[in-house]
Chain A
Amino acid sequence: MAHLTPTPVLEPAQDRTMILNMGPQHPSTHGVLRVLLEIDGENVVRLMPDIGYLHTGIEKTCEAKFYQQVVPLTDRIDYLCPLTNNLCYVLAVEKLLGLEIPPKAQWMRVLLNELTRINSHLVWLGTHAMDIGAMTVFLYCFREREEILKMFEMVSGQRMMTSYFRVGGLALEPPLGFFDRVRDFAGYFPEKVDEYENLLTGNPIWVMRTKGVAKMTAEDAIGLGATGPTLRGSGVDIDLRRDMPYSSYEKFQFKVPVSQEGDVFARYMCRVQELRESIGIVRQALDGMPEGPIKANAPHVVLPDREKMKTQMESLIYHFKIITEGFAVPAGEVYQAVESPRGEMGYYIVSDGTAKPYRVHMRSACFANLQTLSKMCEGKLLADVVAAIGSIDIVLGEIDR
C-alpha cells in the first residue's frame, strides 16, 4: 500500500518548526496542487510544491494519434486557454510541413487568441481576488467571461474545449453575426475593466495584501524559468508576440505592460493592463480582417469542403485518405513557442516521416512558473502563500499534462 502514503514527505529540520500540508483539495490551490510547508509560527521556513495529481499522460497519448487527432488533446492541457494551445500545436505542425496559411485564418487566430487571453485573465482575476477575500470581483469577471464563452460556442460549437484550429487553417467559417457580437463586446469591455480596477487597484485592503508581498527579482525569475506576466512583473521586458512574432502578430500595434516591483501587485497590474491591450488587438483584428479563404491550399493535408466532396472525385479521395491514414509529415523537429496568458507555451514536435508524431512535448509556462513559489514565499508569512499562488496564475492541467 505504498502508493497510499502521501509523497514526498518533508521532515521538520528544527525542533521549533512544524510541517503543514496544504491541498491537494484546497480551494485556493486552483485545482489539485499540494504544497508542503515547514512553518515556524506564522513564518514559512521551507515550501515544497507536490504535483502530478492531474497527470494523464497526454504526451504519450499524442504519439499514438494522427497529427490532426492531437488537436482536441491540446485543449485539455490548459482548460482556460484552449485556443492558445490549439494555435501553438498547429503552428508547430505547419512549420514541420512548410505550409503557408491564408491571411484571414491568421487574423482569426489572433482575434480568438486575444479573446482567450481575456477569458483566462478574467478567471485569474476573479479567483485571485476571491482567494484574498474580494468576492464581488469574481461575479463581475464571470459575467464577462460568459459572453466570451458564448462567442467560442458560436465559432466552434463548444464553450471550453474548442478545437477550432486545424493544421492548415480553421475548422469552419466564422458564423454570421459573430463579428458583430465581438465588436459589441469590444465596445463595452474597457468600461468593465475600469469597474474591476475600481474595486481593486485603489482598494486599501487589496493594496495591503498585495504590495510588497511575494517579491522576486528579475535574476531569480530568469534563473527559475519564469515567463509571461510572472517575469514581466519583475521588470523583464519580453513578450513573444512582439519579439518573435507568429501568426502575423507583427501587423498589430500593442504595448507590453511591464512592472518593476516584482510583487503580487506588480503582476496584477501587468495582467490588468494586458486585458486592455488585448481588447485593443481584438478591435484591430476586427477592423482589418482580410477577406479570402480560411484554409491553406494543400489538399493532402487540409480536409476538402463538403460541397466539393460531392462533386469532385479527387476531393473525395483526399478526404478518405486523410481520415483513414492521416497525412505524412516530413521528418524533422521543431520548437514553436507562443505567448500564452501564463507565459511561454512551447510545443516541441519530432516527426519521423509518418502520419503520427514521434514525440510531442509541451513546455508549459506554469510548470516552470511554479518553481518560483518557494523563492517568493520562504521567509514570509503563511497567509501570503495564497496570494503568491494566485499571482502566478497556475493551471494544474497544464502543469501535470
Chain B
Amino acid sequence: MALSPAITDIEQLKNHPALARIQDWNPQAIQSVKFDRDEMTIVVDRSAIREACALLREDPVCPFNFLSDVTCVDWYPAEPRFEVIYHLLSIPKKERVRLKVRLNSSSSTVDSLTSIWPGANYFEREVFDLFGVRFAGHPYLRRIMMPEDWEGHPLRKDYPVEGYR
C-alpha cells in the first residue's frame, strides 16, 4: 500500500459532500483543499468557519452533525502561526471531514462553535488554555487543564518541553 500523492485541485474533489456544500454557499470562503491518505481537509476563511459549520450540520444530503474534535497546531515561527482544526463526522453517512482555520499570531481569535454544538465548549477551552487561541462568543473561556494563574501556553512551540520556564 504505497502512498499516493495528495490531491489539492478543487475541481477534482468537488464531488465531496462537504466541499460541494461550502462551494455552493460561498466559493470565496475556501482557501485551499487537500485530499491526502483518504482524508479530506478544507481550509476555510476565518470569518466563515461558524457559518460553514452550521451549514454542514444542516446539510440535507450528508449532515455532518457531530463535532468529533477541535484542536490546534502551532507552526511557530511561520505565519500564519496557528491552525485550528475541526474534525466533523456525519453519523448518518459515516463520513468525515477536517476543517481548518489559519490564524496570525497578532490576531489569534476565531468564532466559537458553542452555539452550534454545545460540546465544543471543553475542546475550545482546551485550545485556549494550551495554545492561547481565543474563541469569540465562548460562554466560559477559562483555563481547563492548567491552574488558573498559570503563565504561558504549554503546547506552543516556543514553550520548553522540560526545565523551568
A361 near B161 with CB under 8 A, answer no
Chain B facing A: main interface SS: loop
Nearest-neighbour CB distance to chain B for A54, whole angstroms, equals 9
Q: A96-B37, A238-B91 are in contact. Are A52 and B146 (CB under 8 A)?
A: yes
Question: Which residue on chain A has the smallest CB distance to residue B70?
Answer: A363
CA distance A224 to B68 in the complex (A): 10
Whether B87 and A346, one on each chain, are in contact in the complex, defined by CB atoms closer than 8 angstroms, is yes
How many angstroms from the CA of A225 to the CA of B39 in the assembled complex? Answer: 21
Q: How far is A52 from B144 in the complex, measured between Cα atoms in Å?
A: 6
Interface mask (A224-236 → B, CB under 8 Å = 1, otherwise 0): 1110000000001
Residue B102 CB within 8 A of the other chain = no
Q: Is A115 an interface residue (CB 8 A)?
A: no
Q: Does B121 contact A (CB under 8 A)?
A: yes
Q: How far is the CB of A230 from chain B (nearest CB, A)?
A: 12
Cβ of A157 within 8 Å of any chain B Cβ, yes or no, is no
Q: How many A-B residue pairs have CB under 8 A?
A: 109
Contact call A64/B161, Cβ cutoff below 8 A: yes
**A333 interface residue, CB < 8 Å from B?**
yes
Q: Which residue of B lies closest to A54 (CB)?
A: B145
A186 CA / B45 CA spacing, docked (Å): 53
Contacts of B143 in A (CB 8 A): 52
Q: Is B109 located at the chain interface by the 8 A CB criterion?
A: no
Known A-B contacts A225-B119, A346-B69; the reply to A99 vs B154 at CB < 8 A is no
**CB-CB contacts of B30-62 with A at 8 A, as 1s and 0s?**
000000110101000000000000000000000
Q: Does any Cβ of B come within 8 Å of A192's Cβ?
A: no
Shortest CB-to-CB span from B134 to chain A, Å, is 18
Whether B69 and A100, one on each chain, are in contact in the complex, defined by CB atoms closer than 8 angstroms, is no
Question: Is B20 located at the chain interface by the 8 A CB criterion?
Answer: no
Q: Are B73 and A7 in contact (CB under 8 A)?
A: no
Q: Are A370 and B122 in contact, with the CB atoms below 8 A?
A: yes
Q: A8-B148, A344-B68 are in contact. Are A223 and B118 (CB under 8 A)?
A: yes
Q: Other than the known A63-B161, A335-B69, A361-B69, what 7 A-B pairs have Cβ atoms closer than 8 Å? A: A3-B148, A3-B149, A55-B146, A236-B91, A335-B87, A367-B122, A368-B119
Q: Which residues of A contact B (CB under 8 A)?
A: 2-3, 5, 7-8, 51-52, 55, 57, 59-61, 63-64, 95-100, 222-226, 236, 238, 243-244, 330, 332-335, 337, 344, 346, 348, 350, 358-359, 361, 363, 367-368, 370-371, 400-401
